[in-house]
Amino acid sequence: MTPTVGVLALQGDVREHLAALASLDVQAIAVRRPGELDACDGLVIPGGESTTMAKLARIFELLDPLRKRVEAGMPTFGTCAGMILLADRVLDGTSDQETVGGLDITVRRNAFGRQVDSFEGPLAMAGLDAPVHAVFIRAPWVEETGPGVEVLSRVERGEAAGRVVAVRQGSLMATSFHPEVGGDARVHRLFVDLVRS
């Protein structure tokens, strides 16, 4: 059966994720309403602005349904702001910043600082035999991981060398970078494999 994979479509780079998923033989749908979320076997939370996305999720009455589905084990993949939304703990967030949570990680928003707040380059990732072209845009990094969290990738060089930028915990996956830009769907494929399994 063809799985249905949603992209949370409240804000952010929704179209690019839908395109990446559509290339992978899944039914890719935009999710703006609880009913659309119900139809999903898996969900991508895109990059954008985590504070705005969380506020919109609350207004559109999606925040609690999202928490319930994630808690119930729906495979979910967060990229950049989406990683922040999946994190149980956020550093440098706004005082009222809410998250969906579920991933036992602490993320730091806008962690790479002004000078290198956006950069790109090849990055090795567990599960892929060749590096991905990783695009970081005012990205968070993972500052702490709980015992159930598997580190999939770390920054390899520069001041941020060693920082964790991709993780997995059970059915949840998150990257600091944007795998949806650049026409390489291998990271999405890892996620779709998780949805199918």
Residue 17 bears catalytic tag: no
Q: Which of 45, 57, 74, 80 binds ligand GLN (CB under 6 A)?
A: 80
- Determine if 111 is a binding residue for ligand GLN (CB under 6 A): no
Q: Which of 33, 34, 101, 110 binds ligand GLN (CB under 6 A)?
A: 110
Smallest gap from Cβ 11 to ligand GLN, in A, equals 10
Q: Which of 4, 11, 50, 171 binds ligand GLN (CB under 6 A)?
A: 50
CA distance 58 to 64: 8
Closest to 42 in 3D by CA, of 69, 64, 9: 69
Find all residues with CB under 8 Å of 95, minimum gap 6, and list them: none
Find all residues with CB under 8 Å of 68, minimum gap 6, and list them: none
**Could you tell me the two tokens for 37?**
């979320």
The contact mask relative to ligand GLN for 133-162 (x = CB under 6 A, - = no) is ----xx------------------------
Residue 178 bears catalytic tag: yes
Query: Between helices 50-59 and 63-71, what is the axis angle to 10°?
Result: 100
Residues in region 81-100 near ligand GLN by CB under 6 A: 81, 84
Smallest gap from Cβ 45 to ligand GLN, in A, equals 10
Burial tier of 110 (Cβ tally within 10 Å: 0-12, 13-18, 19+): middle
Smallest gap from Cβ 110 to ligand GLN, in A, equals 5
Residues that bind ligand GLN (CB under 6 A): 47-50, 80-81, 84, 109-110, 137-138
Annotated catalytic residues are 80, 178, 180
